[in-house]
Structure 1
Amino acid sequence: MSLPLGRPLPSRALPWQDLPQTKLPNGLGIRYVSRRDVPFLYPETVGPEGRVICMEPIPNAAAALQHNIQSHQHWCLKRGVHPGNVSALNVGAGNGQESSATFTCYPDAAGWSTMQPNDAEVQEGVASYLQNSLRTRAGLEGSLLVSLASLLQRLLPRWLTQRLFRWFAGRMLAKKQQVSCELTSISAVIRQQQLDRVHLMKIDVERAELDVLRGVEAQHWQMIDQVVAEVHDIDGSLEKFQQILRNAAFTSLRCSQDPALSGTTMFLVAASRAPL
């Protein structure tokens, strides 16, 4: 489970300094990479009864996440508000067989950082995301650069804009870095944190989705009520992912694709033991 609230930066800079900020309804400011992540997290982070355990393997992203958690707790304490039980683990979710892995990180495209790199697929995915997002302005901050790119997309031939987006995506990914990160499994976390119920397991691990599910031991599946995951459909992995959930007695499954990700291999899978 990876919550992309930060992106890797040089060690000389604080990981959260140049991230955009959004205001939540309670007045708390949250740093983010994708604005769409914040509404998803808000109900869980402010509730007095909920517990959120985040697993983030990339050190700089984990530091940004920890900073968000501490800022939230500080804001709550000043106002006498219950801060919620949120914790961050600087570790990746795997199948339980390996204790560490080398991750490929993209400082200018943190959401595509992965321990299973596929440069061609990532470049095509970033290019498609940029092209689709500029068309709808979904998930993009307003700026002169965004406005100019949107104008060029409307004026230039489609074949030329596609080439430009692929070139730009290649530039974004050119600064990739290799980082060694610790791995664990969902079952190991369930035992370590002494959990008796997981109401929602959210997965965003860039082509390692099957490994995460394989890290759930048979006796722990019945403790998990819902799963929401971004799944890359490569070599039939989307169907394999859903089949594991069916075998684990999830009776309601839904698969969809964000319009901004049209033309990519990325899909959203939601699974529940109750009707969706």
Structure 2
Amino acid sequence: MPSDQLSESSPGFTLQTAELDNKTFYCVNPEEVPIVYSQVQQYFSYNLALEPGSVVWDVGANVGLFAFWVQQTYPGVQIYSFEPVPILFQALQQNLPNIDSTNIQCFPFGLGREAKIVSFAYHPHATAMSTGYPYTPEERLELQTTIGQNLPPDQLEAFKPVLDRFFEYQLIECQIKTASEIIESEQIPKIDLLKIDVEKAELDVLLGFTPEDLAKVQRLVIEVHDIDHRLQTIQELLTQNQFQNIEIEQEPGLAGSNIYNLHAWR
């Protein structure tokens, strides 16, 4: 067993709660909730052009913080949330009272280029890092170095043990389907906003759309891990599919890393 792989008896499959905006949210790791919530709000620095009735796809929903913030900011939108990790999907469902549950559908699987079962590295101390593409030792070192370089020196020493725990993981089986399967089964005529945050599987998600179905997407916000020129590949794919406007940014805390935020619209 790799040194970072946790045994099946390790903690990480029990829900806890965290307080946020005077509401109680179910989660695995309470310390992670304000961090993820802060990241979620960065999406809304963009003009997302949503209105009541707009359709939003939340791919990589985690425990539902993006869905919560979307409905707080744009009441009346229709949300489709996708989360393949069972314990996170359970938390998402239990957080529905904090969201307008009449306007959200939750799906217990992820999206990819083909329907299959994937062995996920589930990170209980940093659930947002859970991925179907487990971190290599080189990727771990690169991310640790980047975070360390962007932290004030007085915080770095205290944060290092926490950062080490982020990479502890358990392997679990998760279901993946394609976006076009869901568009057909749910009879979805349009997607006004497609949000993708899936830890190195973002290109897979896009390739799960047929060209006809990708044409139904009006706007995207994607976290892109620029591996094997993926950022360029995604830009070219979107340009070929008539996305005329593409913006790329990088969070200050990830400066120097291969992780970017991409915003595209027609």
TM norm structure 1: 0.72
CA contact (8 A) 1:69 1:87 kept: no
Q: Within 5 Å, which residues of 2 pair with 1:207-226?
A: 207-226=200-219
The residue identity in structure 1 corresponding to 2:143 is G
Structure 2 partner of 1:36? 38
Match of 2:130 among 97, 103, 113: 113
2:258 corresponds in structure 1 to: 265
Alignment partners' CA distance in 1, 2:159 and 2:257: 14
What secondary structure is seen at the aligned counterpart in 1 of 2:134?
Answer: coil
Superposed, 1:180-199 pairs within 5 Å as 180-199=173-192
Q: Does residue 169 of the first structure (1) align with residue 163 of the second (2)?
A: yes
Asked which structure has the greater CA Rg, the reply is 1
Please give the secondary structure, in 1, of the residue aligned with 2:263.
strand
Shift, 1:56, TM fit? 0.6
1:114 counterpart SS class: coil
Percent of matched pairs sharing the same residue: 28
Partner of 1:57: 84
Match of 1:124 in 2: 142
- Whichever structure has more strand as a proportion of its residues is 2
Which segments of structure 1 move beyond 2 Å, counting only runs of 4 or more? Answer: 8-11, 27-33, 37-49, 70-73, 126-132, 150-153, 164-172
CA RMSD across the alignment: 2.6
Which of 185, 194, 205 in structure 2 is aligned with 1:201? 194
Structure 2, unaligned runs of 5 or more? 1-9, 27-32, 45-65
Residues 142-162 of structure 1: CA deviation (Å, up to 9, x unaligned): xxxxxxxx6354xxxxxxx6x
- Could you tell me which of 109, 115, 129 is aligned with 1:91? 109
Q: For residue 88 of structure 2, what is the amino acid of its counterpart?
A: A
Unaligned runs of 5+ in 1: 1-7, 74-82, 136-149, 154-160
Q: Provide closer, same or farther for how the CA distance between residues 179 and 219 of structure 1 changes in structure 2, counting only shifts above 3 A.
A: same
Report the alpha carbon displacement of residue 269 of structure 1 after superposing the two structures with TM.
0.5
